[in-house]
Structure 1
Amino acid sequence: MESTQTEPGAVATADAHPEVRTAAGVVRGRWRATTAPGSGERGALRSAAFLGIPFAEAPVGERRFRAPVPQAPWHGVFDAAAFGPTAQRGDPGVTLIPEPSVPGQSTLNVNVFTPSPAEPAEGAGLPVLVWIHGGGYFAGSPASPWYDGRNFNRDGVVTVTISYRLGFDGFGWIEDAPANRGVRDWLLALEWVQENIAAFGGDPSRVTIAGQSAGGGAVMTLLGMEAAQHLFHGVYAISGALADVSAERSEAFGRALAAELGAAPTRAGLGALSEERILEAQKKLTAFDGGDMSDIIENGLPLGPSVDGELILRPTPESFRAGVGSDKPLVLGATDDEFSMATADAGRIMRWVPTGMLLGRLGVPKAARSAYLAANADVRAKGKARLAGRVLTDRMFRAAILRIVADRGSAPTWVYRFAWPSGHFGFAEHCLDVPFFFDCLDGPAMEPLAGPNPPQALADELHAAAVAFIAGRDPGWSRHDEHGRRGRVYDTPTRELSDLYASVRPLI
């Protein structure tokens, strides 16, 4: 394509496809309507989408298993009309969020959604949300229609979704390769935002990073990293699952995978193998056999951000206790029953298992069982399957929230629970709050997650709180501290409570 003469950050004409000049070249987007009609108070009514913009060279060939390399400049205009390739291959089916896989090699790309694709006057840039998708660090896609930023655009927030390498390619230990390649992808994408977002109407000094599940863990990992502090200014962690894989565990898994494949644990040895073969071995070595869940609960999966001593210097909680990220505001929370779906069909089997034995298998210490059962009497009354799901949720997600709050001390932190029960499952399961955050209840594949007619008023409330936080205000409820331990419960009606995670405290 021929090069455009458009000035940096400018829209060619009011009705044409918008074009923006980035550091690497010109990109052409597409105008779309926002979902809700809105009003003057609600913000812009149009959203410009720039999809699949490469922020790094394709991580293939000699660049595979290396740190990401910034995208070289291109000539002409990059037509950013469709999502770029994703690191996810196929459909692993790990969430109820529609997260399509897109084939191709240039998997390190960003999607930018903006109401004002032009360089703003000094000091007039819009706040920016950068979203990191979840998927257990081995799955997920930034191409989900639920992650479309059009309704954040409507309310005056520029939105960016980023891709990163997954599974072994992104996080596996290799003898002569840099660790945490997926983390390095996050960092380079955030550097891209700092360098380019003003051309899309955003303010690089007002960037909030957010994510859900592994994405929530990602943003908390970044919050605890000294090397990342200049790249963002606030954090919103939804159902965050920290990895903090030890260096020893990461190396042991890397050597086991290489042995499984009959290859040397080096870039040359593993680089000679196809992506498909490595993915097959990865699936085999991470498969859960349905037995004792204690190791998964305690340690998580072996693929994820690892404490390498170079990029991630120490486990994230230790960094919080040392004051890293304490100047940055944080919102964090979880759904009430993140993993109750995993136990929902086991009620007939569990009815014969003594309650003490069930709690023991799920890692609840004997000394804590009576207090825990008393604090969760309402859940216990719904049967052992629901009780088991709540224990899993508490041990993997909700107890971590209380520990993080304590580790951050007096740092500005707001805590919430998402308690509204899905009209399909009857409880607030993993992923349920994501479409409320993005205000996309009219999106595809909603009913299997939320049931028919999920409450738009609740989405309005949660989304508005997120917009307020991203814009630099408090989200609309009291900060959490050890005196009041206050937080917000999102339900119908929403309310503010003292000690809203009291039922989890017996596990702490």
Structure 2
Amino acid sequence: MTQTESRTYIEVDTGAGRVRGAWRDLPGSSARSAAFLGIPFAEPPVGDLRFAAPVPVAPWTGVRDALEHGATAQRGDPGVTLIPEPSVPGASTLNVDVFTPAPGEPDAALPVLVWIHGGGYFAGSPASPWYDGRSFNRDGVVTVTVSYRLGFDGFGWIEDAPSNRGVRDWLLALEWVQANIAGFGGDPGRVTIAGQSAGGGAVLTLLGMERAQHLFHGVWALSGALADIAPDRAERLGRDIASRLGVAPTRAGLSTIPEDAVLAAQRAATDVSGPDAMTRMLDDGLGLGPTIDGDLLPRSTTASLAAGVGADTPLVLGATDDEFSMAVAPAERKLRWVPLRMLLKRVGIRGEQRRAYLAANRDVVARGHAAVLGRVISDRMFRTAVVRIANARGAAPTWAYRTAFRSTVFDAAVHCVDVPFWFDCLDAEQVDPLTGPRPPQALADAMHRDAVAFIRDGEPGWPTWSTSPGTTRVFGGEASTGASPEVVPDGYAEVSSLL
């Protein structure tokens, strides 16, 4: 341990070499946390490795500083996003950040959380201040955040390249955790993987993957967005992007194209606009992401879970009540004049299904047509998936929850609003613009407490869906305090007509 410029440094050995991190004080606690940032788990995916499977990082000599976030696969200014996820320039984008209260103490054997960020599989960054593991460290959990290749580089079809390169990045990062986390005070036999949005889809994808089962022991998916892209659709998109760039859809052809040009072609090829944009988005799903390739992913994730893959692994999954309502809320004045029958027809809900859906969502109907349309989008993209996955798991240990806390900025329980509560980081930057001022600490106490319990013990503290289908913990609710989370017998009854 060394002291330099008022910072106290700590060094830990990894399989590739020694790294230097820094101690930090934990606000409101006598405990401390050490941060090791930007530790590479793979060689930079550039040159001959750009469209290859990840290659474990080569050993280095001496001590490597791990004091700043590593380069991110996300490039440039992402603009205003719900979660602050900065881009960091550089070529070495395959890194982990490790936050630990017990560096260099292999006998500590603390439970481990591995976090995979979201961003639709084409954006996002592990460098968010929200993903700092301070609060989990305070509660005895070692925390690891993972970077991975995004968009076309990570998931695009290329004729002679390995499929699902971003998925392979996740696997290698988890292998790094198994091999190295004991040196940071973690127990490789108690690893929980978690993520939100595309990150939630990532951990569900890994749960349904035979090849990944030995790498983790619990899964928590927040608003999981599965891709499960059909191989023919993936190939069409890959050929489209190559055609736009004027090259063959091969590694040799695409490797000649600068990164910014590939990103521009990717954006153009995946753009969804026009009068039927919403319906196409809901029907077709994401354009880039994990693909059913017959190798890592032989079938859809839900089918794999129904077949029993991952049945021994505890799973917690849930969604916010109004994931994407904010996308249509600004159109309320226009939508109020459009009959609900016509609005719902545009998103594929007609006849008896429409009547059943509106009857089950009377509270949403009372909030206006935009709220109804936003709820339908949220249900079709996220909330029905909770029910389908929980049911597919059968008797496997599965817990479901809902986040009902309504942001005072959006007047809805919108996408990402649960993340700062789950991480117990309400004092982090850019939380208030999402939650509204003075977000309830009691809700953070409740959500974070249950997350820690699950990571530590394999149970979050409420009855399982598997023993009583429909059982759901509701965080937030009308009072929006979260002080006493409620468990209800059928928390997703409102989506039953869409299943």
* Alignment TM class, shorter chain as reference: over 0.9
Is the aligned partner of 1:59 residue 2:59? no
Q: Provide the aligned length of Structure 1 versus Structure 2.
A: 490
Give, in angstroms, the shift of residue 119 of structure 1: 3.2
Q: How does 1:222-237 map to 2 (within 5 A)?
A: 222-237=206-221
Task: Work out the percentage of aligned pairs sharing the same amino acid.
Answer: 65
Alignment check: 8 A CA contact 1:243 1:299 kept: no
Q: How does 1:21-36 map to 2 (within 5 A)?
A: 21-35=13-27
- Whole-Å Cα distance in 2 between the matches of residues 13 and 223 of structure 1? 42
Structure 1 match to 2:54 = 68
State the one-letter code of the partner of 1:238.
L
Alignment check: 8 A CA contact 1:34 1:45 kept: yes
Structure 2 match to 1:41 = none
State the one-letter code of the partner of 1:418.
T
Structure 2 segments unaligned to the other structure (5+ residues): none
State the one-letter code of the partner of 2:34.
A
Q: Secondary structure at the match of 1:52?
A: strand
Q: After superposition, what is the alpha-carbon deviation per residue over 1:28-77, rounded to whole angstroms, capped at 9, x for unaligned?
A: 00111123x14xxxxx7111000000000000001110000000000111
- Whole-Å Cα distance in 2 between the matches of residues 426 and 291 of structure 1? 27
| 1:466 aligned to which of 444, 447, 451 | 451
| 2:104 aligned to which of 118, 127, 131 | 118
Q: Secondary structure at the match of 2:106?
A: coil
Is the aligned partner of 1:259 residue 2:250? no
Query: In the superposition, relative to structure 1, how do residues 364 and 88 fare at CA in structure 2: closer, same or farther (>3 Å)?
Result: same
Give, in angstroms, the shift of residue 291 of structure 1: 2.5
Give, in angstroms, the shift of residue 482 of structure 1: 6.4
Alignment check: 8 A CA contact 2:78 2:87 kept: no
Give, in angstroms, the shift of residue 312 of structure 1: 0.8
- Whole-Å Cα distance in 1 between the matches of residues 8 and 142 of structure 2? 20
Give, in angstroms, the shift of residue 354 of structure 1: 1.6
| 1:155 aligned to which of 105, 117, 139 | 139
Q: Secondary structure at the match of 2:137?
A: helix
State the one-letter code of the partner of 1:364.
I
- Whole-Å Cα distance in 2 between the matches of residues 95 and 465 of structure 1? 27
Alignment check: 8 A CA contact 1:137 1:214 kept: yes
Alignment check: 8 A CA contact 1:95 1:135 kept: no
Q: Secondary structure at the match of 1:476?
A: coil
Alignment check: 8 A CA contact 1:239 1:333 kept: yes
Q: After superposition, what is the alpha-carbon deviation per residue over 1:272-320, rounded to whole angstroms, capped at 9, x for unaligned?
A: 0000000000011111214322221122122100000011111101101
Q: Secondary structure at the match of 1:367?
A: helix
Query: In the superposition, relative to structure 1, how do residues 410 and 289 fare at CA in structure 2: closer, same or farther (>3 Å)?
Result: same
Structure 2 match to 1:310 = 295
- Whole-Å Cα distance in 2 between the matches of residues 234 and 17 of structure 1? 32
Structure 1 match to 2:311 = 326
Q: After superposition, what is the alpha-carbon deviation per residue over 1:456-504, rounded to whole angstroms, capped at 9, x for unaligned?
A: 1110110010000000241111111364521110013421111011111
Structure 1 match to 2:222 = 238
Structure 1 match to 2:382 = 397
Give, in angstroms, the shift of residue 12 of structure 1: 6.4
- Whole-Å Cα distance in 1 between the matches of residues 310 and 81 of structure 2? 30
Query: In the superposition, relative to structure 1, how do residues 484 and 163 fare at CA in structure 2: closer, same or farther (>3 Å)?
Result: closer
- Whole-Å Cα distance in 2 between the matches of residues 485 and 250 of structure 1? 34
Is the aligned partner of 1:449 residue 2:441? no
Give, in angstroms, the shift of residue 399 of structure 1: 0.6
Bigger mean CA offset, 358-367 vs 457-466: 358-367
| 2:183 aligned to which of 199, 208, 232 | 199
Q: Secondary structure at the match of 1:27?
A: strand
Bigger mean CA offset, 211-220 vs 90-99: 90-99
Structure 2 match to 1:18 = 10
Query: In the superposition, relative to structure 1, how do residues 478 and 250 fare at CA in structure 2: closer, same or farther (>3 Å)?
Result: same
Q: Secondary structure at the match of 2:9?
A: coil
Is the aligned partner of 1:495 residue 2:447? no
Alignment check: 8 A CA contact 1:245 1:299 kept: no
Structure 1 segments unaligned to the other structure (5+ residues): 1-10, 39-43
State the one-letter code of the partner of 2:273.
D
- Whole-Å Cα distance in 2 between the matches of residues 257 and 342 of structure 1? 27
Structure 2 match to 1:298 = 283
- Whole-Å Cα distance in 2 between the matches of residues 377 and 197 of structure 1? 49
Alignment check: 8 A CA contact 2:195 2:202 kept: yes
| 1:411 aligned to which of 389, 396, 403 | 396
